[in-house]
Structure 1
Amino acid sequence: MSERSHISATRLSIVLPAKNESRSLAVLLPDLRGRFPDAEIIVVDDGSDDGTVDLCQSYGVRAIRHAYSKGNGAAIKSGARAAQGEFIVFMDADGQHRPQDIPHLLTRLSEGFDMAVGARIAAGTQAGLHRAMANGFYNRFASWMTGQQIMDLTSGFRAVRARLFKRFLYLLPNGFSYPTTCTMAFFRSGYSVTYEPIEVQQRMAGTASHIRPWRDGVRFLLIIFKIGTLFSPMKLFFPISMAFFFTGLGHYMHTYFSSGRFTNMSALLFITSVLVFLIGLVSEQITTLIYRDTDA
């Protein structure tokens, strides 16, 4: 462990979700074991067919196997439930995340933060232009929703306080959006989140991304709306309500001065504005109930 980190490896669990990543794990696991000999290392095999479990056993690493692929988020949840450490580090198993960056994240936890996220400063080397633009949009949207600057909403490399992270397991989806959900959940509950710049390595040869740009792009778009309604509903519903209201007002002014009438379309737009506002208000109350235990 680095001298910068004040967290003992005996209190640390390292969780790696993996699906057919045996080639990269063959390099990553001995590196992790050499750097953190006392840490609990857990590989969650999400339905691999490349001998991942046998590889873990050869390095003395604990392996949890899913009988079939359930998704990255499901693997994260399985690993978090099994982790015994006071602190958990989550990192990808494809070789993009560097073990030498772990002490930097742990240092931020020792400074009092509840979650430290590895913010990719070289994301462009791994992602195409469309991925970089999408990530930028997600970051800006989430920053607006939370009122806090979010440098990397989708990074899977992070260190957390285990007892706090486990409170939100029921919120996490089984797919690739667990970083988005847990980050927003921490902000919503008033926990401290910080970002540590990291470099992203090239994915090891023989490994491939499990993200499909078009299919998962649509899913991420839906997640944006889900996250918005789950954590800050009025920030999403209120602008929509105002858009309907002012559209209705503009339509009414036009029809009033042109023909002296109040039309059905104006009435529909005003009613829609009120309904959207009320839905947002009810959603805000439901959100408060969801977090009544975690906010304590």
Structure 2
Amino acid sequence: MTRLTVVIPAKNEAAALAALLPRLMQAQPDAEIIVVDDGSTDATRQTCAAAGVICLSSPYSMGNGAAIKRGARVAKGDVLVFMDGDGQHDPMDIARLVARLDEGYDMVVGARDWESQAGVGRGIANSVYNWLASKMTGQVVADLTSGFRVVHAHRFREFLHLLPNGFSYPTTSTMAFFRSAYGVAYEPIKAAQRIGRSHIKPLKDGIRFLLIIFKIATLYSPLKLFFPISLVFFLLGCLNYAWTFAHGGRLTNGSALMWSASVIVFLIGLISEQITSLTYRPTDLGGRFR
């Protein structure tokens, strides 16, 4: 019999957890529930104790991804369920996601619709991420950043060393699964309004989300990012040479520099592609390649 472990990262989500945990226990009475308290200063630990669920507490905030990794390491279930602690995810949806997992997938992600996005700006940003990830992988990516997902525990633990301590663990895990040819499915869900204050900071996280775009490319296939840039430098060098030759009959340093940049960027992409291939090559406990 498959055993579920529900891992919930939480930072100052006591009010949301007080409403979420009873519903979760009712929906999944046999599941192991682990709340990872990411340095909360509210009553998160007391709320977990009152509900009778496991609470792993950090002495200070290490990040959402760090909480996910801590929970995944100690989980006893064969299937891990990750959901946010802010009350947005409905515990009744877990059964549908697990059912899709039984169809042969390695990970099933709860895909939010447009109405479930936290504002127009976030909706547009997530749409851009989904489009870019779909182009990179050649697969339809319905919700790259959703924190509601179920996954086979042994598959997920293969990539713990890749996961960041910050907020982009969904992006990293999704791209890692695609890169390793593990089956990923998307199941439509409705996300409710979060309870309490969001931890997203527009300026700081706007820059972070921009970096995620580059991370998507480098996680999956670096050459798909570096080769177009290399080609642009090469074509600019050719255009510059055509202009200077037509008007002065000479080759300038500008063209030579752009051609050099083209070669350097291409070689960096080539080396990154080889490193990526080695990164996603699984190893056993003895360090030997499988």
**TM score, norm. by length of structure 2:** 0.95
Give the secondary structure class of the aligned counterpart of 1:88.
Answer: strand
2:146 to 148, 152, 155: 155
* Alignment partner of 1:241 out of 213, 226, 230: 230
Partner of 1:252: 241
Moved more, 113-122 or 218-227: 218-227
CA distance in 2, matches of 1:32, 1:128: 26
Match of 1:267 in 2: 256
Match of 2:61 among 69, 74, 84: 69
- Could you tell me which of 73, 78, 85 is aligned with 1:81? 73
Q: What is the percent sequence identity of the aligned residues?
A: 61
The letter for the 2-side match of 1:153 is: L
Structure 1 segments unaligned to the other structure (5+ residues)? 1-7
Tell me the residue number matched to 1:24.
16
Residue 143 of structure 1 aligns to a residue whose secondary structure is helix
RMSD, aligned α-carbons: 1.4
SS of residue paired to 1:215: helix
Q: Which amino acid aligns with 1:278?
A: L
> Partner of 2:286 in structure 1?
none
Q: Over residues 68-91 of structure 1, what are the superposed CA-to-partner deviations in whole Å (9 max), with x where a residue is unaligned?
A: 111111111111111110000000
> Which amino acid letter does the alignment assign opposite residue 266 of structure 2?
F
> Kindly tell me: are residues 37 and 101 of structure 1, through their superposed partners in 2, closer, same or farther at Cα, counting changes over 3 Å?
same
Deviation at 1:230, TM superposition (A): 3.0
C-alpha separation in 1, matches of 2:39 and 2:185: 33
Q: Within 5 Å, give how 1:275-290 maps onto structure 2.
A: 275-290=264-279
- 1:158-207 Cα offsets, whole Å, 9 max, x none, are 00000000110111111110000000000000000010000011222xx1
- Name the residue aligned to 2:132: 141
SS class of match (2:146): coil
Q: Which moved more, 1:43-52 or 1:226-235?
A: 226-235
Q: Measure how far apart 1:18 and its partner are.
A: 0.6
What is the letter of the counterpart of residue 268 of structure 1? L
What is the alpha-carbon distance in structure 1 between the residues aligned to residue 49 and residue 116 of structure 2? 33
Assess if the C-alpha contact under 8 Å between 2:106 and 2:184 holds in 1.
yes
User: Which residue identity does 1:225 align to in structure 2?
Assistant: F
Report how far residue 227 of structure 1 moved.
Answer: 3.2
Distance in 1 separating the partners of 2:82 and 2:169: 11
Take 2:181 and 2:16, find their aligned partners in 1: how far apart are those partners? 37
Cα distance, 1:46 vs. partner?
0.6
Cα separation, 2, equivalents of 1:289 and 1:24: 41
For residue 125 of structure 1, report the CA deviation from its aligned partner: 4.6
Q: CA–CA distance in 2 between the matches of 1:104 and 1:277? A: 44
Asked if structure 2 preserves the Cα contact closer than 8 Å seen for 1:156 and 1:179, the reply is yes
Quote how far apart the aligned CAs of 1:229 are. 2.0
**Other-structure match for 1:131:** 122
Q: How many Å separate the matches in 1 of 2:125 and 2:216?
A: 16
Aligned letter for 2:183? S
Q: Which runs of 5+ in 2 are unaligned?
A: 284-288
How many residues get paired? 285
Partner of 1:5: none
Shift of the alpha carbon at 1:105? 0.4
Aligned to 2:201: 212
Q: Return the offset for 1:120.
A: 0.2
Quote the residue 2:41 is aligned against: 49
Cα distance in 2, alignment partners of residues 31 and 226 from structure 1: 36
Residue 100 (structure 1) aligned to one of 72, 92, 97: 92
Tell me the distance in 2 between the aligned counterparts of 1:211 and 1:277: 36
Distance 1:168 1:182 in 2: 7
Contact 1:126 1:202 in 2 (8 A): no
Q: Deviations over 1:2-58 (max 9, x none)?
A: xxxxxx5x6100011011111111111111111211110000011111121121111
Say whether residues 1:198 and 2:220 are aligned partners: no
Residue 126 of structure 1, CA deviation:
4.4
Q: Partner of 1:110 in structure 2?
A: 102
One-letter code aligned to 2:122: R
Paired letter, 1:269: M
Greater shift after overlay, 143-152 or 241-250? 143-152
